[in-house]
Structure 1
Amino acid sequence: MCRRALLLIGSLFLGISCSYAQDTTAIPSGDDFIFSSTHLKPGIYRSFKEFQQNAPSQNGQVVIRNRSAAAQIYLLASRNELHIIDSTGQEHKVKDCWGYSDGRDVYIRDNGLNRLQEIGYYCLYEIHAIAATPVANPGAITFNTPPPSEKKKVINIVTGQVYDLTLYNLRKYILPQDKALLDTFNTDAKKRERLEYYIQWFNARNTPVL
Structure 2
Amino acid sequence: MLTPVIIVEDSRAFTESKLNMSCPVCKQGELIMHYRVSKIPYFGEIFLMTIRCTNCSLRISDILAVHEKGELPERHEIKISKERLGDLVVLSSGAIVMIPELSIEMTISQETGGEITTVEGVLLESIEYINLMLKEEKNPEKRKILEKLRAILENERKKPSGKLTLVVEDRHQRSAIIPEKLWSEKVEEERIRALGMNKDLQKKALTLGKQMVREKMKELI
The normalised TM-score by structure 1 is: 0.24
The normalised TM-score by structure 2 is: 0.23
- Computing the radius of gyration from Cα coordinates, the structure with the larger value is 1
Tell me: higher relative CO, structure 1 or 2? Use CA pairs within 8 A at least 6 residues apart.
Answer: 2
Structure whose residues are more often helix by fraction: 2
